[in-house]
Amino acid sequence: MLTAIKGNILEALSLDTLGVHPHSYLVLEDGRVAGIYLTLPETMAEAQVTDFGDALILQSFSDMHLHGPQYEYMGTGMDRPLLEWLEAYAFPTEARYADPVYAREKYRTLAHDLIQNGTTRVCMFSSRHTDGTLILMEELEKAGITGYVGKVNMDRDAPDYLRETTEESQKETLRWLEGCKGFTKVKPILTPRFAPSCSDELLTFLGKLKAERDLPVQSHLSENLGEIALVAKLFPDCGQYWEVYDKYGLFDSRTLMAHCVHSDARERAAMSRKGVWPVHCASSNNSLMSGISPVADMLREGQAICLGSDVSGGTTLSMLRTMANSISAAKDRGSMTWDYDQAISIEQAYYMATSAGQTFFGLKLGFPEGELLHAIVLDDTGLPKLPSLTLRDRLLRAAYRLDDRHITAVYSEGIRRR
C-alpha cells in the first residue's frame, strides 16, 4: 500500500550536510521509504497523502544513552555531589525495580514519554533486575520503540541491597538473554554498569558471552576524574580506563561508551582504531559537573559520536533539548578556552541525534530507502514567519524553542505512534 507524508523534509546526510526537501512527499510502500519527491511521480499518484502543511518532517531521534529506572527522579537533587546523589536517589529507587508491578507502571510512562518526545530508537540501561528488564523491553516494544536494552551487571561498588553476587549476575544474565528471544524490535545489549562495578571474573564472563553470541556492549568511560582514579586503582594492570574494557573484549565497533569527557588523545585514538562509539551527554555532564566534552575536536577526528539524554544525570528526555544543550555546552567550552572552533553546528547536532544512532543500528543515513519509516513532524508554524528564514534556520530555532507540544506526529517502524 502506497502512502505519503508531505511537508518540509530534513535529513542528516552527513555530519555537515543537511538534506533539504521543501514541501516534498516522503512516499512509503507498506511503511517503508520509497523515496522523497517534490512532486509525486505518476506511478505513485494513488498514494494516500497526509499533508502536514508547512511543518518540518525530521528523522526521529535515537537516544543512545539513558537509564530507564532513573526517569522518575529526573531533575531531582542535581545540586548534590555525585556519590550523595547516587545514594539519595539512584540506588534506592533502582532497588524498587525488583518489583514487577512497580517496574511495569514506571516503564510504561517512560515509553509513552519517549514517543511523545519523538524518540523511537534507544540504547538504554535497565537495572540489575532480570524481570524488570524484560518488562522494560516489553513496554518499549509495545509503544513502538526499537533498539537495545541492557540488564545492568554490578557485582561490586554498589550498596549491598543492589549488588549482585558474581554467580548471580552471570546466571541472571543468561536467564535474561533467554527471555529476550521473543522480542523482535528491542534487543539485548551487554551492560557492565561501568568498570568499577564489575569484578574481573564478571568482566571475563561478559567478554566471552559477547564473543559467543555476537552481542553489542554499552558502558561508561572517562566521565569524571574521580571515576578515572578509581579505575586506575582497581585495575592497576591497565594503563588507561578503556584498556579495562579492551582487555575483556568489550571494546569494539559494536560498543557504545557514554561520556568520554576526559578521554585524552591516546584514549580517543584507541576509540577510533577500535571503532567504538562515544555517546555525548551534555546535560548530565553539566548537571554533575563532570566537565565539558571536546565534541568538536572529536568530530574533527572522525569519532562516531551519538547523543544521549543520560536521564537522569541529564535533566531532559527531549532530544530536541539535548541537541540545544549540546550546542550550548560546546559554546561554553569554546568561550572558556577562547577557542571558537569548539562550537558545533545544528547540522552536527541533528546528525548526532539521528543518523549517528541509525548507523550504530546498521542503517544508512537520513531516510534510507527500503527501511521502515522513523520520523517526526515538528510543527513550528506557530512561531513568527520571518522573511528569509531557511529550513536550516528553522531547525536551529526549533531546537531552542520547541518541545513535545510541537511534535504533532511520530512514526516508528512505519507506523504512526502519535
Concatenated DSSP letters of 7-60: EEEEEEEETTEEEEEEEEEEEEETTEEEEEESS--GGGTTPEEEEEEEEEEEEP
Q: Is 161 in the site for a copy of itself (CB under 8 A)?
A: no
Q: Which of 72, 99, 200, 301 binds a copy of itself (CB under 8 A)?
A: 72
Closer residue to a copy of itself in complex, CB, 94/172: 94
Q: Which of 50, 76, 166, 272 binds a copy of itself (CB under 8 A)?
A: 76
Closer residue to a copy of itself in complex, CB, 154/324: 324
For a copy of itself, which stretch binds (CB under 8 A), given 53-61, 193-201, 279-287, 407-415? 279-287
State in angstroms the smallest separation of the CB of 91 from a copy of itself.
Answer: 14
- 388, burial (CB in 10 Å: exposed 0-12, middle 13-18, buried 19+): exposed
| Count of residues that interact with a copy of itself, criterion CB under 8 A | 46
Closer residue to a copy of itself in complex, CB, 54/167: 54
CB 195 within 8 A of CB 229: no
Q: Is 376 in the site for a copy of itself (CB under 8 A)?
A: no
Closer residue to a copy of itself in complex, CB, 170/293: 293
**CA–CA distance, 134 with 264 (Å, rounded to integer):** 37
CB 74 within 8 A of CB 317: yes
Binding mask 343-372 for a copy of itself (x = CB under 8 A): x-xx--------------------------
Cis status of the peptide bond prior to 412, with omega within 30 of 0? no
Q: Is 17 in the site for a copy of itself (CB under 8 A)?
A: no
Q: Which of 291, 301, 391, 408 binds a copy of itself (CB under 8 A)?
A: 291
Q: Which residues pair with 21 in a beta bridge?
A: 9
**Phi and psi at residue 74, in whole multiples of 5°?**
-55, 130
Q: Which of 119, 328, 358, 412 binds a copy of itself (CB under 8 A)?
A: 328
Q: Which of 333, 374, 406, 418 binds a copy of itself (CB under 8 A)?
A: 333
**CA–CA distance, 19 with 22 (Å, rounded to integer):** 10
**CA–CA distance, 297 with 137 (Å, rounded to integer):** 35
**CA–CA distance, 217 with 242 (Å, rounded to integer):** 13
Q: Which of residues 296-325 bind a copy of itself (CB under 8 A)?
A: 315-316, 324
Concatenated DSSP letters of 324-341: HHHHHHHHHHHHHHT-GG
Q: Is 336 in the site for a copy of itself (CB under 8 A)?
A: yes
Closer residue to a copy of itself in complex, CB, 243/347: 347
State in angstroms the smallest separation of the CB of 184 from a copy of itself.
Answer: 31
Q: Which of 119, 120, 199, 286 binds a copy of itself (CB under 8 A)?
A: 286
Q: Which of 112, 163, 397, 416 binds a copy of itself (CB under 8 A)?
A: 397
Q: Is 340 in the site for a copy of itself (CB under 8 A)?
A: yes
Q: Which of residues 83-122 bind a copy of itself (CB under 8 A)?
A: 89, 93
For a copy of itself, which stretch binds (CB under 8 A), given 195-203, 210-218, 358-366, 391-399? 391-399
- 43, burial (CB in 10 Å: exposed 0-12, middle 13-18, buried 19+): exposed
Say which residue the cell 525488583 belongs to: 98
For a copy of itself, which stretch binds (CB under 8 A), given 39-47, 57-65, 73-81, 168-176? 73-81
Closest among 147, 99, 67 to 314, alpha carbons compared: 67
State in angstroms the smallest separation of the CB of 289 from a copy of itself.
Answer: 5
State in angstroms the smallest separation of the CB of 244 from a copy of itself.
Answer: 24
278: three-class secondary structure by DSSP: strand
- Contact partners, residue 236, CB within 8 Å, separation at least 6: none
Q: Which of 137, 221, 292, 304 binds a copy of itself (CB under 8 A)?
A: 292
CB 29 within 8 A of CB 2: yes
Q: Secondary structure of 243-273 in the HEC alphabet?
A: HHHHHCCCCCCCEEEEECCCCCHHHHHHHHH
Binding site for a copy of itself (CB under 8 A): 72-79, 89, 93, 285-287, 289-292, 315-316, 324, 327-329, 331-337, 340, 343, 345-346, 384, 386, 389, 393, 396-401, 403, 405
